[in-house]
Every structure is written in C-alpha cells, then in structure tokens.
Structure 1
Amino acid sequence: MSGSGARPAARPATYGQVFAVREFRPLFGSYLLSTIGDELARVALTVLVYQRTDSALLAALTFAISYLPWLLGGPVLSALADRLPRHRVLIGSDVARAVLVAAMAVPGAPLPLLLLLLLLVSLFAPPFEAARSALMADVLEGDRYAVAISLTGTVLQVAQLIGFGLGGVLLVQFSASAALLLNAATFAVSAVWMTLGLARRPAPVQDAGEETGRSLAQDTASGLRLVIGTPRLRAIVGLLWVSALFVNAPEGIATPWTLELQDALGATGLLLAANPAGTAVGGVLVGRFCPPALRDRLLTPLVVLSLGGILLAALVPLVLDRGTTAFVVVLVLLFAAGLGGACSIPLNVAFVQAVPSAFRGRAFGVAVAGLYGVQGLGAVLAGVGADLVRPSTVVALSGAIGLAAVVVPLLSLRRSAPGPAGGDPAHVACGPPAGGPSQA
C-alpha cells in the first residue's frame, strides 16, 4: 500500500521515478486517453442534440448527464472497486464503454436511445475512477504517489483542452459520429493497454480477509461510516468539500461577472480558464519541486491563497474602473487563487496514508460524490445571489465566507495529525480491516 507507514522522503520524487513504475504507465495513459475522448464526445453529443432539437435546455442536459451517476450512485458504484479485482473493473469498464459509445456513433440513432446510451456509459465512470485511483496508490510507493497526483491533475487540464479542441475540429471536418467513434477507440486502446500492463491481484476485500457475502449497500455504508466516524478522514473530506463549495461558486456566474468587468462577452472563457491554469502550474510546483515536509507545511497557506485570491479579485472594481485593466488584474488574481488549488496534493496524500487499500474505492466514491454535489450547489447559490446583488459582491462573499468556513476543518485536521511514530487515527478507530477515502 502506497504511503501508509512509509518514511517521508527528504526530496520530492522525479517524473522519471514515477514513470519507471511499470503499472503506472497504463494507469496514466488510460486516464489521458479517456479524458480526451470523454470531452470530445461531450462536445459532439451536445452539438448533435442541439442540431436535432434546437433546444438549449436539452443540449445542456445532455452535457450534464455524464455527471449524474456520481451524484446519484457514486458511492455505491465505487464500492465495486473494492469488491472485485481492480484490474478487472478497469478493463471491463473500458470494454463496456467502447461498445456503448460505438453504438452511439451509428448514424440516425433515435435521440432517446442516444441519451440512454450516454447514461449507461456514464455509469461506468465511478467504478473505473475509484479503481484507478485506489490502484495508483497501491503501485506507487512513498513520494512517487504525491508527484503522480500533481502530474495527473496537470494532465487533466491539458486533456480537457485537447478534447474540447479536437471535438470542435472533428465536428467541422467530419461529423458527430466520427467524434464518437474516436472516443470508442480511446476506450478500446485503454482496455488493451491495461490488459497487457496491469498485474493480476485478488479483490481487495478478499486480500484483506474482510467478511464475504455482504451486499453492495452494506459495503457502501461501511465506507460512509468510516469517513464520518474517523476524525482525521472527516477533517480531510470536510476541508475538500468546504473549499470546493466556495472556490468553484464564481464559475456559476462567470458570464455576468465578465460583463460587470468589461463589455466583452467572449472574454468569459478567459475568466473560466484563469483558475484552472493556476491550479495546473501550482500542481507542478508543489508536487514536483517541494519536498514532502514542505508540502505539509504549505497546506494552510495554499488553502488561504485559493480563497483569498478570489476575495481580492472580487474587490478589484472598488479600486479600478471598469475596463481591460481591471479584467486583467482579476485574471491574475484568479490565477494566483488557482495556485492555491495545489493544496489538494498534500490532502490527497493524507487521504491515502489514513486508509488501508481494501476500502479506498468506496470511500473515494463518497468523497467525489460530495465534491460534485457541493460544486453544483455553489454554482446554484452564486446564481441566486447574482440575481439579487452585483456578481462581484457574490464572488467577494464566496471568498470571505469560504475563508471563515475552512477554519474548522483546518483545525480539526491539525488536531488529528498522526503521531511521531507514524500511527494514524483511522487505524486506531476502525481496526486493521477498516479503510477510508482515496484521493478526490
């Protein structure tokens, strides 16, 4: 198990050391392929639905369907990553998605069938992501795991941009069916790559000697009880959720905020891109170049930067007149806030260190389902607020309230820190078979 009980390295691991681990390469490659394929497929389906129905609502719902399984059944579906051998969950999920997406590419398929197939494809995302994340923590020892987390976070931002751009090119040059076929091909290649590159391991619950014959609902409940009942895990997940609630809220009002800053609706994309760009750069700086001990010390400053940057960006209209200069300053401050998003790296490492491998999948589902939920809630609340007051006021409140709200989970995380001997409260509270969340 990665991280648990390992002595922290004095220096950060290198990318070469991470890629030297044979099993990491297919895990990383499949993540890159599936992300690119998913984003280009979202673009293709959204455009296809809009062309057929001329309905912006249906197009938006099509885009949102892929996130629905995480909210409705993420913790339950993620438990499969603990009940079954993880390599089988990964390979089986990709094979199923390749077949389903290929079926979606059939020209003239009825719209209700397309939406049903999209929902079925999306149901395989929670078990796949839970198995991939848990297995990555198993195969990477020590600081290699933290560096891998920063690397995959950066690649996620790049892959999304490639997927969106490639989807647009395919739609112009070919058709939505071509984009969907390419997405199906990414799943097929990923499945073959993992079949050849991953070791065969037993199901984690069997390997840990956990009780057999339990239902999926019982396994899901055990992961939820662990997260809620273990102080350190509760503090980690609480900090993730609270910060995500307020950091992501401004995205929901990006368009009216842009118009408040300057008369250029097309600049909304720049406003949305500034924070993720900072997160990508911060992930590289903190994950690759900061020693492990320094990362831990930077956690609180990074959390404060992520919310404080948003607060300062919202106050720019009080200092500068509306126009290009004010907009550029806001972009710089949002980029700085994105740098603070690198706080997820030490949090993810703490997450994995706190739990045995056998419970990572189901607890991962709990954490990610909550993240999707609070991000959506934050965007909705920001939208409601922007109908009542100026968008910049809503953003300022997000930053200020967020800074106050993270104090409690930060203090709880400090109080629950492992002792000098390396023991972790999760192991004491739940016994050797128990486990907890994976990285979110």
Structure 2
Amino acid sequence: MTFRDIFSLPEFRALYLSGLVNIIGDYLSRAAVTALVYQQSQSVLLSAASFAITYVPWLFGPLLSALADRYPYRLTMIASDLVRMVLIAVLLVPGLPTAVILVLLFVAGLAAPPARSARSALLPLLVGRDGVALAVATNQTSNQAAQVIGYMAGATLAVALTPRIALGIDVLTFALSAALVAFGIRRRPTTVARSERTHLLRETSEGFQAVFGDRVLRSITIVVYTVTVFAIVPEGLAAAWAAEGTPNPEAQAFDQGMIMAAGPLGFVIGGILFNRFVPAARRVRLIPVLAVIVPLLLVPTVVSPPAVIVGLLVMLGGLAQGALLPTLNATFVLALPQSFRARGFGVVNSGMQLAQFSAVMVTGWLADHFRLPLVVGLWSIGGTVVMLLAAIFWPRPVEFAEAADRAAAADQPGAAPPAREPTTSVTRKPS
C-alpha cells in the first residue's frame, strides 16, 4: 500500500486532518503558557509544571480509555473534542488566575485519553492490516510537523502578544476536529458488545493484562516508555534553557521555539526517510540500535553547548525517534487484537504521558539546584545505560511475526479470546 492508496480513503483523510488540527492547537497553547509562567515566576520548576500539567490526566488514562472500547470510536472522539472545546473556551475570560487556568487545563485533559485511544484503535479498521504501518508513520510524522508549527507560533505569540490568542486558536481546532469526524467518518458498532461488558475496572485490568502479559507487547511498551522519559526533557526545559543563554527577550523566544521544535522537526525527517527507504523487516531489526541512539545523542549537552548546538542534538535525536517510534507503534497495533486496542493504547499512552510528566518535573527540580546542561547530560547518560539493557533482552524478529499471527487469528469472527504467552517465555535468550 502506498501514500496515494491510504489518502484515497475518505475516512482516513478525515481522521488524519482532525488529528492534525488538534495537535497544532494543543502545542501552540502549550508553548505559550509555558513561556508565560516562566516570565511571571522566573522558576524553572513552575515553568516545567505548566508544561507538564497536561500529562497529569493520563494518570487515569487506562480507565478512561476503556470507555473507548465500550462506545463507538466515532462518538468517543466527537464527545471528547466538544468537552475540551468548551473548557478551553472558559480560559478566554480575562483575569483568570494562573491556578484556575492550570486546573481547567487539567480537567480538559481528562478527555484526551479516550479520544486518542479511540483514534488509534479506529485506524486499522480504516486502512486494513496491510496499511497500518504506513498510516501510523504518516500520522506520527505529520503530528510532529504540526508540533513544530505549534511550538514556534506559541513561543512567538507569548512574547509578542498574549497566550489567550493561542488558547482561542485551540478552541477552534477542537470544533473543526469534531466536525471532520462527525461528517467524515461513518458510524460503526462498538468492539465490545453490551452483553460482554463486565465492570469498567475489570475491563481496564484486562487492558493491562493484554499488554504486559505478552512478551512482544511488553517489550515494545517498555522501550516506548523509556524513549519518552529521556527525549522529552529538552522540550520541557526549553524556556529556562533559552533564558539562561541570553537576556534578550526576542532571542529567548527564538531559542525556546528552536529547541522545542527541533525534536519534532527531526522526527518528521527521520519518519519520512526511514519509512520510505528502509524495508519493513529491517526496521524491526534496527529497533534496539535506534533505542540506544536516542538518549546517547543528548549526552554532549553536559558541556553546556550554545542553543544552536542543543537544537541540532535534539533534532538528531528526533530523527532517530522518527525512525523508531512509528515502527514500534505499527508493530504494537498488529500484535494486539481489535477488542483490546483502545484499552491497550490507553495503557501505552498513559504510561508515556506520565513518564514525560515525571521526567520534566524531576529534571525541572534538579535544574533549580544544579546547572541545567549538567542535569540534561547526566540524565541522558542514564538513559543510554537503560536502553543498552533493553536492547540486550529485545525479542527476536520471529516473535513479532508470531504475535501478529495470534492477533489476526483472534480478530476472526467466532474466534476464542487470544491466549497469552506462558510466563516461561520471559526466560528466552535474547537475540
């Protein structure tokens, strides 16, 4: 399947565009609010907290994502967009205290887990199993490009005008996203029939069991968590990093936007090149190598290079992520039965968001007490060591194929629930 094939599908185009406008609005407002808090408080920790507040709702992500398997994916996405549109619109009221703004952002963020999980679970139904890898790569690469636009525009608006303009744009993106889904995607039944429902907590637990009870899914999840822990730090600390480098406000805005946008820009380049020129089987074999490269590239920040060098290192790390994460995502989709996809993605996305939140908060606290470049450099050294250990115990390629076959068999009408691997599978020798 080619790019032309997947974009010839009207429903995929609607899903793709709705996600794209959502990402632009979210990251535009995130960059603006992060800069505003740092300008007011001059605290790295509070600036990091304003960046990280949108990750906190993912603490409830697995539970909220279970709703996406209970209700039609289309309805879940529309309802989530409309809820967030209304709550973000309240932020446009003048004079709201910073604390109230952060609370509203948190509450609005509770609608993100079911929406994102429904979007991920719906994708294979639109493009088929053969088109999943290309569709995932297209979505993730485009989303990173949208982050570049959002970050640069948000940082600029925060200095030149007001963050409320960015929030107003975010409101419009939610309205447009809901309209695209409502008019561009047809109704489908739920993947879990009402007669098969038990209890939301039990269904959430089944999502954890589906992910962590399988060696392949478990390995993918651990690597995704670890990559995000060590790759997100430059973005979260960008405002403070830029302020340390120059007293000029315009230069600070440029440096902040450059550092925040460098990773997504690299992701776009890596995603396009890797998925265009590297065969699928080789992509899977290169996963352990790419996983080690991501944190390794940020180790030189320990010597306090100028902002342009930081941006270059972050971009190279983003390039490695662009090669790595779409491959992991597509492999995860194919190894997970349809009836567990929303819950499985809820588990992974929640872990990613909470890992990012923890990483930004911890490094933000450390940077309030030690030199920021030293913190990032030592953090990256730790990440390189962890990734080396993950690479040693990475599953063999044949295990990925077996997991995909099990999931495909489970998706057949009348199939029994997929059997998980026996616990003795964890003793297999690494490749």
TM-score bracket for the superposition, by shorter chain length: 0.7 to 0.9
Return the letter of the residue paired with 1:418: A
Give, in angstroms, the shift of residue 88 of structure 1.
0.2
**Aligned match of 1:417:** 400
Return the letter of the residue paired with 1:87: R
User: 2:243 and 2:89 mapped to 1: Cα distance?
Assistant: 41
Return the letter of the residue paired with 1:32: L
Return the letter of the residue paired with 1:216: L
SS at match of 2:401: coil
**Aligned match of 2:150:** 163
User: 2:239 and 2:162 mapped to 1: Cα distance?
Assistant: 29
SS at match of 1:202: coil
Q: 2:82, 2:178 within 8 Å by CA — same for their partners in 1?
A: yes
SS at match of 2:324: helix
Match of 1:336 among 310, 316, 319: 316
**Gap regions ≥5 residues in structure 1:** 1-12
Give, in angstroms, the shift of residue 168 of structure 1.
5.2
Could you report, residue by residue, the CA deviation over 1:380-403 in whole angstroms, capped at 9, with x for unpaired residues?
565677767944751562354134
**Aligned match of 2:104:** 117
Distance 1:76 1:408, change over 3 A: farther
Could you report, residue by residue, the CA deviation over 1:170-207 in whole angstroms, capped at 9, with x for unpaired residues?
5677654443333222211211111111111111112x
SS at match of 1:418: helix
**Aligned match of 1:211:** 196
**Aligned match of 1:9:** none
Match of 2:132 among 145, 149, 152: 145
Distance 1:106 1:48, change over 3 A: farther
TM-score if structure 2 supplies the norm length?
A: 0.79
Please show how residues 158-197 of structure 1 align to structure 2 within 5 Å: 158-167=145-154, 175-197=162-184
Please show how residues 245-324 of structure 1 align to structure 2 within 5 Å: 245-248=229-232, 266=252, 267=255, 270-271=258-259, 273-311=261-299, 313=300
User: 2:419 and 2:106 mapped to 1: Cα distance?
Assistant: 30
Distance 1:184 1:427, change over 3 A: same
Is 1:38 the equivalent of 2:26? yes
Return the letter of the residue paired with 1:354: A
Could you report, residue by residue, the CA deviation over 1:242-287 in whole angstroms, capped at 9, with x for unpaired residues?
3333444566677898999999995566455444432221111122
Is 1:202 the equivalent of 2:202? no
Give, in angstroms, the shift of residue 149 of structure 1.
2.0
Give, in angstroms, the shift of residue 109 of structure 1.
4.8
User: 2:130 and 2:378 mapped to 1: Cα distance?
Assistant: 39
Q: 2:208, 2:347 within 8 Å by CA — same for their partners in 1?
A: yes
Match of 1:27 among 15, 19, 27: 15
Distance 1:426 1:65, change over 3 A: farther
Give, in angstroms, the shift of residue 105 of structure 1.
1.9
Distance 1:435 1:138, change over 3 A: farther
- Aligned identity (percent) is 36
Distance 1:50 1:95, change over 3 A: same
User: 1:112 and 1:329 mapped to 2: Cα distance?
Assistant: 35
Return the letter of the residue paired with 1:353: L
Is 1:231 the equivalent of 2:215? yes
Distance 1:404 1:50, change over 3 A: closer
User: 1:398 and 1:419 mapped to 2: Cα distance?
Assistant: 33
Return the letter of the residue paired with 1:211: E
Q: 1:260, 1:391 within 8 Å by CA — same for their partners in 2?
A: no
Q: CA RMSD in A?
A: 4.0
Distance 1:204 1:48, change over 3 A: same
**Aligned match of 2:88:** 101
Return the letter of the residue paired with 2:222: G
Q: 1:104, 1:114 within 8 Å by CA — same for their partners in 2?
A: yes
Could you report, residue by residue, the CA deviation over 1:2-47 in whole angstroms, capped at 9, with x for unpaired residues?
xxxxxxxxxxx43222211111111111111111222233355556
Return the letter of the residue paired with 2:66: A
SS at match of 2:83: helix
**Gap regions ≥5 residues in structure 2:** 421-431
TM-score if structure 1 supplies the norm length?
A: 0.78
Distance 1:133 1:102, change over 3 A: same
Return the letter of the residue paired with 1:237: T
Return the letter of the residue paired with 1:365: G
Give, in angstroms, the shift of residue 302 of structure 1.
2.4
Return the letter of the residue paired with 1:286: F
Q: 1:30, 1:190 within 8 Å by CA — same for their partners in 2?
A: yes
Q: 2:84, 2:108 within 8 Å by CA — same for their partners in 1?
A: yes
Q: 1:355, 1:427 within 8 Å by CA — same for their partners in 2?
A: no
Q: 1:149, 1:287 within 8 Å by CA — same for their partners in 2?
A: no
Distance 1:45 1:395, change over 3 A: closer
Q: 1:82, 1:203 within 8 Å by CA — same for their partners in 2?
A: yes
**Aligned match of 2:424:** none
User: 1:63 and 1:392 mapped to 2: Cα distance?
Assistant: 17
Could you report, residue by residue, the CA deviation over 1:355-388 in whole angstroms, capped at 9, with x for unpaired residues?
1212111111111121223334444565677767
User: 1:41 and 1:91 mapped to 2: Cα distance?
Assistant: 21
Could you report, residue by residue, the CA deviation over 1:298-326 in whole angstroms, capped at 9, with x for unpaired residues?
32332243244345x368x5xxxx876xx
How many residues were matched structurally? Answer: 408
More displaced stretch, 77-86 vs 148-157 = 148-157
Return the letter of the residue paired with 2:225: W
